[in-house]
Chain A
Amino acid sequence: MTGRMTRPVLAACLTVLVLLALVPLLESNYLIDLFNEIMIYALFALSLNVIIGYSGNVSFGHAAYFAIGGYTMAILLTTYEWSLLPAFAAAVAFSFACSAVVAYFCTRLTDIYFAMLTLAFSMLVWGVAFKWRSMTGGDDGFVGVDVPAFIAERVPFYYFSLVVIATAVAVLWVICHSAFGRALLAVRENPVRAGFVGINTRLMRWWAFVVAGTFAGIAGSLFAMVHRGMYTESAFWPESATVLIMTLLGGMYSFFGPAIGAASLFLLERLTNEYTEYWPLVLGTILLAILMFLPEGLAGLAQAVRRQILRGR
C-alpha cells in the first residue's frame, strides 16, 4: 500500500488487461461470460475493500449498492427507455446518493454496530426490491433489460465492460493511493491518534463508504446489462457475504487482493461444481482456512513468499 505503483505491479496489471482483452479470441461463450462476471465481481470486491481494508470497518450490507446501481440501470434503460449514458450516469449518481444517506447513519457507529446497521439498510433495500413489484418485478426479478444495440452482442459488450471496469479500477486505485487514501489508512490503524493529528475521522469514514457504494453501483449496473435482468438475490444478504468472502480470500491489506479473491472464488466454484455438488462445504472449508492460516489472504501469502525468496538470496 505504498503510494507508488511499482514497475512489477504495473507490468502485472497490463498483462492481466491484455489477457482479458484476448479472451474473446478463444471463441467460447462460456469463457466470455465467466470472465465478464469475474471482472464485475472484482470491481464489486475492490469497492467493498475501501470500507474494510482502508477504513477498517466491516460492512455486511454492501450488496445494497450493487443492487441499487443494477436496478436503476435496468429500470431506466427499459421502463423509461433512457439511452445508455444518461442511464449509466443516473445509476452511478443514485448509488452515490443512497450510500451518502446510509453512510450518514452508519458512520455514527463503529465495529459490530456499524456492521449490523449496514446489514439492516441492505435488508431495507432488498425489501423495496421485493415488494415494489410494479417497478422492480418483485421476486420474479426485472427481466428483459434493453441493452443498446451497439453492445447487444456478447463480444462488444465484453469489451465495453472491460473498458468501464478497467477505468473504474484505475480511478479507485488513485483514490486509495491519494492523500485521502493515506489519511484513511491512519483512521483504520488508529482512529484516536488520527483525530489528534487533525483528521475528522467520521467524515473520512463517510467518504470511504460513499466511494465504496458508488463503485459497487457501477459494478451492479454492468451486472444488470450482462444478465439482461436484475434479481432480488443481488440485494439479499448472502450476496453481501459472498463479496465479503472474496475480499478476505484475496486479502484486505492489498489493493488488488479482493480482485484476486473474486477470480479465485469464481474459478474454484466452477471447478468444484464439475466434480461435486457440495460447493458450500468447500466454501466453508476455504473460509476456515483463510481465517485460521491466511488472515491477510492470498495477496498476503504472495507477499510473504516473495519476502522469503528475497531473504534467501
Chain B
Amino acid sequence: MLKIEGLFKQFGGFVAIDDVSFELLEGEKHAIIGPNGAGKTTFFNLVTGHLLPDRGSVAFQGEDITGRPPHRIVKLGLARSFQRINIYPRMSVFENVQVALIARERQEFRFFRLAAGLCGPETNGLLELVGLDEEADELAGELAYGKQKQLELAIALAENPRVLLLDEPTAGMSPSETEEAIRLIREIADARGLTLLFTEHDMTVVFGIADRITVLHHGEIIASGAPEAVRSDPVVRQVYLGEEEAANGAA
C-alpha cells in the first residue's frame, strides 16, 4: 500500500529520520511508537508531502509520490489528521467537513455554485459518524478539545481515504475521551476497510488498536512486528517500553 525506502531527513545538523525503510500493508492497523523526538511527526510530514526528504522515496500503491505537494497526495487517497488541533476555527463544524468534501469532489473552482447545502447529506452523515451532529452549527474554534479532535477525524474521513494517517489521535484527551476515541477509530476503520497508520505514545491506545507496531528511536526503526513480539523485544523494552512501564509501574 505504502512503501518507503531509504528515507532520510536532517534539519541543520540534526538527523530527524535516518535511512528509514518501511512498508504498510493493505488493511492493517499499524502503530508507530517511540519516545518524544523520535521523529514520528517528521516521518508523517515526509510521507504526506508537507516536508521534502533529503533522500529516499515514498510510493503509494506503486506510484512514486516523493516530493509531491500535499493537495495532490491526498487526492490519491492518503489522508491524515494532526497531533495539534488543525481545523478552521472561524467556520462552523458543518463547514469544516463540507470544505473537505468540496475539495474531494473538485468543486473548489466552481464560482457560481452556491455552497449552501452543497454535499449536505454526506457532511451530516460524517458528523453523525463521529458524534458531532448536534454541534453542526457551532463555530469549530469554540468546541471542547475532545470534540475538536473528533472533528479533525471527520475532516480526514471526508477525503474518503484508503489509507488514514493519524498523528497522536488521542493526544491531550482525558482517559474517558481516549477510550471513546479508540472505540470510534477501530469501528470506523473496520467499517470502511481503512488501512491505518498512526503514531501514539499512550500504550493503551496502541495495544487497543494496532495489529502491527513499528518502533522509532532517534529517527531509526529499531523493531517492527506484532504487538506481543514488540512488547517483549529486549531492545524496545530498554529504550522505550521499559522506561514507560517502569514509570507506570505496569507489567
Contacts and interface: CB of A to CB of B under 8 A. Distances in A.
A192 B158 CA distance: 16
B237 interface: no
A51 interface: no
A195 B69 contact: yes
B71 A201 contact: yes
Interface string B108-127: 11111111111000000000
B88 A3 contact: no
A interface: dominant SS = helix
Interface residues of B, number: 40
A182 B70 contact: no
A82 B230 CA distance: 80
B218 interface: no
B232 interface: no
A179 interface: yes
Interface in A176-198: 177-183, 185-186, 189-190, 192-198
B10 interface: no
A186 B99 contact: yes
Contacts of B91: 185-186, 189
B70 A174 contact: no
A207 B109 CA distance: 9
Nearest to A201: B71
Given A182-B102, A185-B91, A3 B155 contact: no
A196 B79 contact: yes
A189 B102 CA distance: 16
Contact of A190 (B79, B88, B109): B88
B117 A3 contact: yes
A199 B103 contact: yes
A172 to B, nearest CB: 10
Contacts of A23: none
Given A183-B108, A197-B74, A177 B99 contact: no
B113 A4 contact: no
B88 A193 contact: yes
Contacts of B55: none
B interface: dominant SS = loop
Contacts of B117: 3
B118 A179 contact: yes
A20 interface: no
B111 A198 contact: no
B111 A178 contact: yes
Contacts of A195: 69-71
Given A182-B99, A253-B90, A193 B118 contact: no
Contacts of B104: 197-198
A183 B106 CA distance: 11
Given A186-B88, A195-B70, A178 B103 contact: no
B59 interface: no
Contacts of B143: none
Contact of B116 (A175, A177, A189): A177
Most B CB within 10 A of own CB, among A192, A197, A199: A197
B75 interface: yes
B95 A185 contact: yes
Contacts of A180: 108-111
A178 B110 contact: yes
A4 B98 CA distance: 15
A3 B116 contact: yes
Contacts of A29: none
A290 B75 CA distance: 42
Contacts of A193: 82, 86-88, 155
B89 A177 contact: no
A190 B109 CA distance: 18
A204 B108 contact: yes
Contacts of A204: 108
A28 interface: no
A196 B115 contact: no
A197 B158 contact: yes
B236 to A, nearest CB: 31
Contacts of B70: 195-196
Nearest to B108: A183
B71 A199 contact: yes
A292 B75 CA distance: 42
A204 B80 CA distance: 21
B48 interface: yes
Contacts of B72: 198
Nearest to A196: B70
Given A180-B109, A204-B108, 4 more contacts: A174-B111, A177-B114, A180-B110, A197-B104
Interface of A: 2-4, 174-175, 177-183, 185-186, 189-190, 192-201, 203-204, 207, 211, 253
Give 5 closest A-B pairs by Cβ, nearest first. A3-B116, A189-B88, A183-B108, A182-B115, A198-B103
